[in-house]
Structure 1
C-alpha cells in the first residue's frame, strides 16, 4: 500500500510543478506585484525528497510515519467529515512547505530572475538515518551530497549569491543538525555546520539564538482550513467559548522528584484543582489527536507552556488556535524564536511571562500571577491572540481565493525569508 501511495504523491508533485510554472493564467499577481518576491524552485533528484518517503514504515525509532504523509503532509483527517482538522505531525512541515511553494503566486522558471531559490530537500526525514540508523557514525556527512549537487548542477544558480538566496525548510529543532564537525561523537548531524551551507536561510521548527542562518517558524497545528468561511466559523467558536478554567497544562513530564518547572506546575495543579487543569499527554498520546486537548484549551483562559527537552512547544500554537493566552517561562520558548510571526515587542499584549526560577526555587504560585491580571486586560490579550491566529496557522493547500488573501504562517515565513535575503544581498561582507 505504501509504494502506490508514494508513487501517486510523486506524480501529483511533478504534475503540479509543471502546471503551476507553465500556466500563466494561474499567476494571481501581476509582474509588478511580484517585484522582489519571485521564487525559483530548485529541481532536485528524487533521492533528496520523494525517494525518502518510500520506506516511511521502516525508519528507525518511527514505527510508521506513512499516515502523516496523507494530504501532502497534513496527515489524515481527524474523522471522515472533517473539513479543517487533521492528524498533523509537525515534522512533516517540509512536505507541507513543498506543496505550498508549488502554488505560490510568484514562481519563476528562470533562476536568474528569482529573488529566492527554494530547495525542496526533506532534511529532517533524511536525518533519521544519521540520528538513529546505521549511518549514525557518519553524521558529519549529512548534507554533503546535497551541497555538492547544488554547486555542480547548474553552478551559476549557486554562484550568483553563494547560497545567500537559498531557502531550506527543516522539520526538526536546530539542535538535531548542529553537531560541530570536529566532534567524533555526540548528538545530531552536522548539516548546519557545513561551510558550504552556512549562507542559506533555514526555516526550522526551533532555532538557536545566535545562528544567523536559522529562523524558527510556527509548529504546524492540526487546524488547516480551506476557506475563509471555515476560518471565520472557528474564530466565532473561539470567541463564544466560556473560559471556566484559569490555567491549563497539556503535556507530559514533571513526574520525577528533581525540581523543574513541569514538576512545579503539576504540584500547583494538584493543590489547586479549582484553578488549574491538566491534560495528560505523556508518551505522546496527544500528538496526533487534537480532540484530546483542543476542547479543554477552548475552556481555559491561560495555557502554560513550560520548556521540555527543548525550549519550544507545538502546544503554544495549539493553545493560541484555541484562543488560550500562552504563559511562557523562558524567553527561548517563543520570544527569541518566532520573530517573523510573533513580534518581539508585542509579547505583553498576547502572553504572560513568569520566570521559571521564581516558580521552581522561590515558590511563586503561577495562579497568583494570573489572577492579578484584570479581566479587561485578559479580554484584550485574548483578542490579540485571535488577531494573530491567521499568522500562526497553515491553511490547507488549494484554499479558496478568499482565504488566500489572508496571510497565513507560510506566507509570513516566505515574506520574512525574502526580506532577509534582500537585506543580506544589498548589504556588504557576504560570506563567499
Structure 2
C-alpha cells in the first residue's frame, strides 16, 4: 500500500485538517505540541532539517491563523503490542472499546445534512502547493472523481483509490453549512492533499527529507497549542488511537441522486452470480505473511471453475470495468489486506476495526471472516460453498440495500434525498461530536 491519508479532522472547536500515513509511519499532521498519545516516527525522518512555516514566496494565501480549541479530545492510552497472543488480545480489547466510543458519536439525524444552526464549517485557503499543485493526472479530474466510464453508465468514473482528499474538498466547499466567517464556525477544514504528496515521491531513490518536506511544512503550523488532539479521519486508521476514525476508500460509483443508487441496487441484486468465488490481485513477494499467495494457490488449483482469479500482475486491474464485472458475477470476493459481492475477510483490522461510522458492529450480516492463520489448514472455497443459498441471499440484500448507499461518495453536486452517502454520514457525525462536546459535563 502506497499511503493512507486523512481527509477531515474535527473539533469544537476541533479543527478539520489533514494527516498522512505511510506504510511504515503514521503522519499525524497535528496532535498538538503536548499530545496525550505518542506518534510513531521513523528514525530516518529528521524533521530538524525542514525549514518551519510556509514559504510565502510561493504562497497564494496569507499565513493561516487557527482559533483557540477549548475542548481537546482525550486520546486512549498508547498500547505497545508484539506478536504474543496476550498482547494482541489486549490490543483488540482496546480497539473494540474505542469503536464503542466512536459509535456513540453517530448522528441521529435522518436528514442528509444536519442542521446548520451554530454549526458552521470554515474552509481555509492554503497556498496551492498544499493542494491544487498536487493534482497531476487524469485520475483526479472532475474534482477528484476521474474520467467518466461510459461503458458502465451514469455515475461511474475512473476514480483513484487515494483521491478522497480532492473529493472531500470539493464537497465541503459546497456544504450548506459552510461559512465565510471563522468566528462562527465549529468545524475547520485545512485542505492539504497529504496522500497525493506521498504518491508523487513514491520512488526508492528519493530521500525521506524530500518525501516529507511539504508535509512537515504544514506540521509546523498544526503543531500549535491551539491545535491539540484533533480527530483525524483516515481511509485506514491507526487502530489503537481513539482520535483516528476510518472512513471508506472512494469507489468508482458516484451517484448524483436517489434514482442513481436505486438503479444500481436493482442491477446488482438481479445479476447472475456465475462464480462462487473471485479474487482480483497479485502476489506480494516481499510481504511478511503469505496470505495472498495461499489464496492464489487455493483458487487456481481447484480447476472446477468455482474460483475465478484475475491476475493483476498481468492484467490491467486498474481498468475498473473488468474488476467490477468480475465482482458483480461472483457470490464471494476474497479481500486480503490491500484490496478493494460478499467480502471474505482474513484480518479484522482491514474492515471491522476501521469503519465504525459506516459498518455495523454485527459483521456476520455482510461478510465472512476466516483467520489468515488458519489458511494452511482449510480450503477457503469449500468453506464458502457450504454457506447456504439463503444465507448468501440475506447477506447480499443487506449489503445492497443497507450498506451500499453509505459506502459510496456522491458526485461533487450530488442531491440525494432518501440516502445518506459516506460524505454525509461523516459530516453529520462530526457535527454531532461538536454538539456532544458543547453539552455540560455531568459529575
Residue in structure 2 matched with residue 215 of structure 1 by the alignment:
245
Q: 313, 317, 321: which is aligned to 1:286? A: 317
Say yes or no: does 1:163 pair with 2:163: no
Q: 336, 358, 364: which is aligned to 1:348? A: 364
Say yes or no: does 1:44 pair with 2:61: no
Residue in structure 2 matched with residue 143 of structure 1 by the alignment:
215
Please give the secondary structure, in 2, of the residue aligned with 1:108: coil
Contact residue 67 and residue 75 of structure 1 kept, 8 A: yes
* Distance apart, 1:257 and its partner CA: 12
Say yes or no: does 1:34 pair with 2:111: no
Q: C-alpha offsets along residues 24-83 of structure 1, whole Å, 9 cap, x if unaligned?
A: xxxxx9999223643111222222212333xx2xxxxxxxxx111211111111238942
**Residues 275/36 of structure 1: CA separation in 2 closer, same or farther (3 Å cut):** farther
Residue in structure 2 matched with residue 393 of structure 1 by the alignment:
408
Q: Choose between structure 1 and 2: higher helix proportion.
A: 1
* Distance apart, 1:130 and its partner CA: 5.9
Please give the secondary structure, in 1, of the residue aligned with 2:227: coil
Q: 369, 373, 382: which is aligned to 2:387? A: 373
* Count of aligned pairs: 329
Q: 397, 401, 425: which is aligned to 1:383? A: 397
Residue in structure 2 matched with residue 204 of structure 1 by the alignment:
234
**Residues 215/292 of structure 1: CA separation in 2 closer, same or farther (3 Å cut):** same
Q: TM-score, length-normalised on structure 2?
A: 0.67
Contact residue 112 and residue 418 of structure 2 kept, 8 A: no
Contact residue 201 and residue 417 of structure 1 kept, 8 A: no
Contact residue 254 and residue 261 of structure 1 kept, 8 A: no
Residue in structure 1 matched with residue 37 of structure 2 by the alignment:
none
* Distance apart, 1:101 and its partner CA: 0.6
Residue in structure 2 matched with residue 228 of structure 1 by the alignment:
258
Report the more deviating stretch, 405-414 or 76-85.
76-85
RMSD: 3.1
**Residues 142/135 of structure 1: CA separation in 2 closer, same or farther (3 Å cut):** farther
Residue in structure 2 matched with residue 22 of structure 1 by the alignment:
none
**Bigger RCO of structures 1 and 2 (CA < 8 A, at least 6 apart):** 2
Say yes or no: does 1:304 pair with 2:304: no
CA–CA distance in structure 2, aligned partners of residues 123 and 92 of structure 1 = 10
Say yes or no: does 1:274 pair with 2:305: yes
**Residues 262/81 of structure 1: CA separation in 2 closer, same or farther (3 Å cut):** closer
**Residues 422/212 of structure 1: CA separation in 2 closer, same or farther (3 Å cut):** farther
CA–CA distance in structure 1, aligned partners of residues 391 and 384 of structure 2 = 11
Say yes or no: does 1:358 pair with 2:374: yes
**Residues 130/245 of structure 1: CA separation in 2 closer, same or farther (3 Å cut):** closer
**Residues 163/262 of structure 1: CA separation in 2 closer, same or farther (3 Å cut):** same
Q: TM-score, length-normalised on structure 1?
A: 0.69
Gaps of 5+ in 1: 1-13, 15-28, 57-65, 152-157, 165-198, 316-323
Please give the secondary structure, in 1, of the residue aligned with 2:235: strand
**Residues 306/129 of structure 1: CA separation in 2 closer, same or farther (3 Å cut):** closer
